[in-house]
Amino acid sequence: CSASSNKPVLTLFTKKPCPLCDEAKEVLEPYKRRFILQEVDITLPENSAWYDKYKYDIPVFHLNGKFLMKHQVDIQKFEDQLMKLELQND
């Protein structure tokens, strides 16, 4: 099914350990069939630019490459943005 390739990509900037990230992923669980979750470990050398930017702010979420939210999931904002992208893809 080609629809899956059109799913929005939710990027989670994270590091280990990150209890807030785990919490955020739990909150997003009911939506997980509607997006592709991509996790970026900011402590990896190739992600040092993200580390400098987000080391005090994780979890940080980008939706389709655009900043969406940080620290915790704003479910209303997430739903709104997800819906917008889904409507664009139809």
Judge if pTM exceeds 0.85.
yes
Peptide linkage before 17 cis (omega within 30 of 0): yes
The first and second tokens of residue 68, run together, are 């969406």
Exposure of 38 by Cβ count < 10 A (0-12 exposed, 13-18 middle, 19+ buried)?
A: exposed
Q: Please answer whether residues 34 and 90 qualify as being in contact, where contact means their C-beta atoms are separated by less than 8 angstroms.
A: no
Delimit the domains of the chain by residue range: 9-88
CATH of 9-88 among 3.10.20.90, 3.40.30.10, 3.30.1050.10, 1.10.150.530: 3.40.30.10
pLDDT tens-digit profile of 42-85? 999 999 999 999 999 999 999 999 999 999 999 999 999 999 99
